Amino acid sequence: MPAELPFFASDTPSIAESHPRLYHYTGEYAFRSIVRNNTLWGTYFDDLNDAREFQQMRPTLAAEMGERLIQVVETFARRGIWESDTVRRHGGVVHAARLLGTRVMGTLYQATVGTPLRDSLYPCFVASFCSHEPDGFVEDNGLPSQWRGYGGGPHESYCLVFDTRRFEALV
């Protein structure tokens, strides 16, 4: 990668540093399929228990994208007079980066989840994981909200626990 693209910096912290384990709650049928085939499948985003999650995460992702683009916009603004003037007209480096982050997320959103499945070139499938702070009760019993939302009943619910570093290496 070119040095002027800090957005893709390899010094981005690993998810495993703050979340050493990932949890995947599921029902019996999916659990058996995962274990039998040693494979995780994604679900089409609109078939999730709460497809609104994608709408709700959009502003957060746009804000994060904007923050990561600040250095890119700074580099762009230093390239010349036209570039510097363009950034200035868009409210300066920080505002322009945040605006760019919002526009990029809008485009990604439209291309992935904003188009009906039949018209989508690249439909969006999701495999969901969660993590939590180490806590005696949760470590021993899991997250009640996840059992309710993703399990298949009191005797048909499973939670697979993944070592995040190994999972990152696979991905």
pLDDT digits (tens, 9 = 90+) for 139-154: 778 888 888 777 666 6
Tell me the mean pLDDT in the region 61-88. Answer: 93
Rounded to the nearest 5°, which phi and psi values hold at 160? -90, 135
| Contact criterion met (CB below 8 Å) for 89 and 18 | no
The kind and range of the H/E element at 162 are strand 157-163
70-109 residues labelled b (16+ CB within 10 A) or e (exposed)? bbbbbbbbeeeeeeeeebeebeebeebbbbbbbeebeebb
CA 148, CA 129: separation in Å to the nearest integer? 15
Tell me which residue of 163, 168, 161, 167 sits closest to 138, measured CA to CA: 161
- pLDDT value of residue 72: 93
- The pLDDT, as a whole number, for residue 12 is 64
Residue predicted with more confidence, 135 or 89: 89
Q: Please say if the pLDDT value at position 131 is more than 90.
A: no
Q: For residues 97 and 127, which has the higher predicted lDDT (pLDDT)?
A: 97
**How far is the C-alpha of 83 from the C-alpha of 90, rounded, in Å?**
11
Confidence label for 122 from pLDDT (cuts 50, 70 and 90)? confident
